Copies of this chain bind each other. A is one copy, B any other.
Amino acid sequence: MSNGPCDTSGMADTPGPAEPSLEEQIAAYQREFQGLDPQVERVVSALSRLNRRMNVAYGRQTTELGISNAEWEVLKALVLAGDPYRLGPGDLAKRLGLTPAAMTHRIDRMVTEGLVTRERDETNRVRVIVGITEEGRDKWLDGLRMATVFEEELLQDLSGEERGQLGEMLTRLLRRVEEAQPDAGGRLSDLD
């Protein structure tokens, strides 16, 4: 299963200078560019690294399920859509932040893998309806269970109060950037 952007094998990882640590990177920024607020830099860099690590973790989990992160995202969108658990390719593309063309191919794969179904709408034959199969729903649930374990582990060092503060601050940041960027914004590895 070629696993989208989540495989970690095949990379150069023998000896030599690896990726600099967060501290090293902040120091290097200070060295090369005066006038950079280290506090801001720390928040932004940590955010970005954290996200990368989380996606690696999710990638390992979905690989274990025999699917890719990309496919799990489709399943998630269908489940979270609610009751009939069916959406058109266009809707899916919008929710996942990719082009309709990409959606077409993704659905092709997932249909052959038995994760979703594709049928034409009888009342409007231009429309296509994608539905989740039982197997698809099971995979989604398995993935979610693994994710919650990982997430609880990730946050284990934070007290309940800290978790609340963190969530509140992140939500505030998100609100700020969403109003500056009203459009849905392009793809780029979510999985939330």
Cβ-defined partner of A192 (8 Å) among B47, B155, B156, B177: B47
Cβ-defined partner of A39 (8 Å) among B48, B87, B163: B163
Cβ-defined partner of A42 (8 Å) among B33, B51, B171, B176: B171
Query: A51, B11: Cβ atoms under 8 Å?
Result: no
Bound: A135/B49 CA distance, A: 28
Bound: A53/B186 CA distance, A: 8
Q: A40-B152, A47-B51, A52-B188 are known; give 12 further A-B pairs, CB within 8 A.
A: A16-B91, A18-B94, A32-B80, A39-B167, A43-B155, A43-B170, A47-B47, A47-B50, A47-B54, A49-B174, A53-B185, A157-B172
**A-B complex: 5 closest residue pairs judged by Cβ atoms:** A48-B192, A46-B170, A45-B192, A8-B186, A42-B167
